[in-house]
Homo-oligomer: A and B are copies of this chain.
């Protein structure tokens, strides 16, 4: 397929084996004559990705191996609003240290880290995270304790963008054609964000601040949002609105309790999900009218709730999308489930290693 000679392939494979990126597997039995071929797989004790997430009601750190499999995960559930950003980031660094040490015990060596935050990010600085109340918070100095040996660096990005990239690669790995792979990834947490993927590319906008679905206007005279405007989607459909509508308190495993209530058929829970889904559908219809995407992916807390949200969303799409009659839009739960963000963050690190293994080899030899 590649047109490379057997000798060239052998040399390349030897380099990747020596560098710890590949491992040999038992040769498959073969019927024909000749030397048996040696099977290869991505090393599961090679370079690893560290994914970190600051969210409004939790912090998380995961280590994934080169194949993108989750190997270790640490999270802490607690409301982060009102805390100093420095204190939040110090605690995140602590979780990161635990995850990294657990990985090291398995022979995994962290090649870099990506930090997901629920806000607008430019050059490592969180310009605005309305729900957290952060403005112009430089994340990297707080995570410097992760060590200077993070050769792949420390990338800070918007949580929905990292999750959408994770979703994109999960879809490509599952056989989607890049040029035809497009979707609106909706990330539901206490903040609501989105990643917009068109023709296999994440669109961040002219200045990198796109995807703010949570601040699309559902009702111009609606209640005040954390961002200062009125009637944003977030006010109607974030995690807190769903819990409040369902008459459930926030706190530990609140979403699990909402799922249980919906499954049990509790009317307040079903109504809250129908109303939240309708607001999501109005905003998603705006995106489909503007960008003609054919798939809406529900991520974050919306992933385990997709069963009850999809119907109301589809009803609003049918009502508001001009092309609804002949260009159908599919509403699906994220392939990566509720942890798409932190897995997407960690995955972005190992994808960079897989895309340019020579860079990793040169760095790890130095």
A binding-site residues for B, Cβ under 8 Å: 120, 127-128, 130, 180, 182, 194, 196, 198-199, 203-213, 215-220, 227-230, 232, 278, 282, 285-287, 289-294, 319-323, 326-327
Contact = CB atoms under 8 A, between A and B. Distances in A.
A278 B230 CA distance: 14
22 contacts: A120-B323, A127-B326, A194-B290, A196-B291, A205-B290, A205-B292, A205-B293, A206-B292, A207-B327, A209-B323, A210-B289, A210-B290, A212-B289, A215-B322, A216-B286, A216-B289, A217-B218, A217-B285, A219-B219, A219-B220, A228-B319, A232-B320
A208 B322 contact: no
Contact of A120 (B219, B294, B322): B322
Contacts of A203: 198, 291
Nearest to A184: B290
A278 B220 CA distance: 10
A320 B215 contact: yes
Nearest to A228: B319
A230 to B, nearest CB: 8
A128 to B, nearest CB: 7
Contacts of A228: 319
Given A120-B323, A228-B319, 17 more contacts: A127-B323, A194-B290, A198-B203, A198-B205, A205-B290, A205-B292, A206-B292, A206-B294, A209-B323, A210-B289, A212-B290, A212-B322, A215-B321, A216-B286, A219-B219, A220-B278, A229-B319
